[in-house]
A and B are shown apart, each in its own frame.
Chain A
């Protein structure tokens, strides 16, 4: 019997690996998700013969699974595409919370002087799982705009966080070396929750994807640790796979922004720059604002238009409107492409998902490396709710928070139409030189309204 279970776990592990493999190529991605889900079902079914049910236990599991399945599926179905990032944060957080609670329950049963090999993974799981839970909830609140997305900082913050971490370490040692009593590991959990909150507070909304990815890796490791406590291979393998791939993914994401992970986590990036840099007199400079009719004419008589979508497009739910504009232009023989910056939107790939939802043909979505040389041949670049990803300061202004980030060469186009709600700076909290470029025409307003106006004007043009 145990052999069958062990083999089932092996099959599950293989399916997880195959699933991840498929998920990392565009062709098989959706199948990959099914593959992984199948692995999950096999692992769960294989676990049932290992359980020793009490009467209460059966009810607890039935009720718990029912509630969780309803909450999870309804939540995932109802959520709008724009709110996906915070939904991922939420689902990650609850996983971390579950890992911490499993570990608490185990420690309760080990007695006051558990073996190190059993107690250590439990303690690890409590700390990492709780940090992941609390951190994910703050990430959720920031993205859902339940709280400010700008970094929350105060003097001595790193020292305070360091002290919390030190206190956690103290309690870890206490549980392992002195006595494993409820007081000590509950205190450990509370401190880890506080650290999770404190750790994410100083990180700006624009960096949340990286944070969520990191916390995702954390949850994976907490799950693997629970596997050591429960002597369960499925937990160890699946948890470690997520921990390792999640860590790599976190690095890939911060690389895509041209920044180190340390800078993302501790740089308080996106704070409003009080120094306002050397160019203080910016407000005095004028920008050119356009009206829909003029812009429509400009667009309709272009040969080549490149659209640069950003988070503003997602917020305004303007993906269908932008597609309609592109359709109208193409009808007039204008060549239209979309330039997708790796970190446009709030998550890498966010724009691709949104535009795919609006049935924008895949061939028109160009990645940065592919299209960056073509901006100089474009008659018009239409920036829709993007900002930092076309800010030339990333190239030229040393000391700017985004210095060194690869950007789209929108400034090389013959004309730039910059659609924006206001002159407000983007997430990085810095002014965008491109708005003051003589080639740039600003078009203020909600992205969806503005695009609809443009569509009508192009039809009339």
Chain B
């Protein structure tokens, strides 16, 4: 188990570097924000610990962890979308719109 986990880990390092190596400067911020949302997958871990919670300590830890992780996921994807939405808007009014 540990060995295959480690294999995944090492391969993912190379993929992670390779996949974004050609990003243009203008996309640095949205890309950072997008990867930020992806690490919100810690929500999977948070619901693991929260699901089995019975003692007050576990409940407290689980609740805070789930709240924080969900905020990370939802906020991360929404804010990235807001940034990228604007990038899209710039191409639409292209056809030589006469100045107002």
Contact = CB atoms under 8 A, between A and B. Distances in A.
Contacts of A73: 74-75, 78
Given A84-B79, A98-B68, A248 B34 contact: no
A260 interface: no
B78 A77 contact: yes
Contacts of B32: 88, 209, 212-213, 216, 246, 249, 347
Given A54-B54, A233-B5, A236-B9, A65 B19 contact: no
Given A61-B47, A84-B29, A241 B38 contact: yes
Nearest to A226: B45
A87 B66 contact: no
A216 B36 contact: yes
Nearest to B40: A95
Contacts of A71: 67, 71, 75
Contact of B16 (A72, A241, A350): A241
Contacts of B93: 359, 361
A101 interface: yes
A144 to B, nearest CB: 15
A14 B22 CA distance: 19
A249 B65 contact: no
A405 to B, nearest CB: 14
A223 B79 contact: no
B79 A88 contact: yes
Nearest to A232: B44
Interface string A91-122: 11011011101101110100000000100000
A101 B61 contact: yes
Q: In this complex, which of A37, A236, A248 has the most chain B Cβ atoms within 10 angstroms of its Cβ?
A: A37
Contacts of A51: 47-48, 51-52
Nearest to A342: B25
Interface residues on chain B, size class: 35 or more
Interface in A222-237: 222-224, 226-228, 230-237
A57 interface: yes
Given A240-B9, A340-B26, A352-B87, A102 B49 contact: yes
A342 B38 CA distance: 25
B89 to A, nearest CB: 6
Contacts of A235: 41-42, 44-45
A36 B61 CA distance: 27
A275 interface: no
Interface string A25-58: 1100110111011011001100100111110111
A349 B28 contact: yes
Interface in B52-97: 52-54, 57-59, 61-91, 93-94
Contacts of A365: 26
Contacts of B59: 56, 60
B12 A241 contact: yes
Given A65-B66, A101-B65, A53 B90 contact: no
A204 interface: no
B54 to A, nearest CB: 5
Interface of A: 16-17, 19-21, 23-26, 29-30, 32-34, 36-37, 39-40, 43-44, 47, 50-54, 56-58, 60-61, 63-65, 67-69, 71-73, 75-77, 79, 81, 84-85, 87-88, 90-92, 94-95, 97-99, 101-102, 104-106, 108, 117, 209, 212-213, 216, 219-220, 222-224, 226-228, 230-249, 252-253, 256, 327-328, 330-331, 340, 342, 347-350, 352-353, 355-357, 359-362, 365, 367
Given A68-B67, A213-B32, 8 more contacts: A25-B23, A36-B77, A88-B33, A105-B49, A238-B41, A246-B35, A347-B28, A353-B30
Interface of B: 1-2, 5, 8-9, 12-17, 19-54, 57-59, 61-91, 93-94, 99-100
27 contacts: A20-B35, A23-B23, A26-B27, A33-B30, A40-B41, A40-B77, A51-B47, A54-B53, A61-B66, A76-B74, A88-B33, A97-B64, A101-B64, A102-B65, A117-B2, A223-B42, A226-B45, A230-B48, A232-B45, A236-B5, A240-B13, A244-B12, A245-B31, A348-B28, A359-B89, A362-B90, A362-B91
